[in-house]
Amino acid sequence: MKSSAVEHEIYLLLGTNLGDRVRNLEDARRLIGEVLSEPTGVSKIYQTAPWGVEDQPQYLNQVLRLNSNLPPMSVLDSCLKIELELGRIRERKWGERTIDIDVLFYDDHVISTPELIVPHPRLQDRKFTLVPLNELAANKLHPLLKVSVRELLDSCEDELEVELFEI
């Protein structure tokens, strides 16, 4: 992987609803730290009902902030490899999973390729993303919508409950 000397601020969303969900998040954080970079910020863990496909277990979600000199596609490739290592199987869209790692932001870049869209195209529609992201980046401006994460959360119409998860 070719890297640059420039450190990029990256926000990742972790999600899990199969197996030992807390352990899945811990393992994902550990591998992200080893492969990409140690997180500089870690949100609390939140439990939410499934979004999109309802007949599955509840999710745990968490947002990480990290700095890395890797280019966006290398970040995505690393996230996909971590998902596979942790047993991710893609059977149906929005289906259950041991771990899901989404790239929410990569600096203020706007990226649109068949493999990667950044900012994440649905982050403004999902409270399970916005609540933990707001913890770490309330004032960060969405580079396309030109409003802060806090404003996105305040105007989000998603009615799924997002509850703090006590370990």
Task: Identify whether 77 is a catalytic site residue.
Answer: no
Q: Which of 21, 29, 65, 97 is catalytic?
A: 97
Confidence at residue 47, expressed as pLDDT on a 0 to 100 scale:
97
Exposure letters 28-64 (e unless 16+ CB within 10 A, then b): bbebbeebbbebeebbebbbbbbbeeeebeebbbbbb
Task: Identify whether 97 is a catalytic site residue.
Answer: yes
Where along the chain do its domains lie?
Answer: 8-164
Q: Which of 27, 65, 100, 126 is catalytic?
A: 100
Task: Identify whether 27 is a catalytic site residue.
Answer: no
Task: Identify whether 102 is a catalytic site residue.
Answer: yes
The class of domain 8-164 in CATH terms is alpha beta
Residues in the chain predicted with pLDDT less than 50, given as ranges, are none
* pTM over 0.85, yes/no: yes
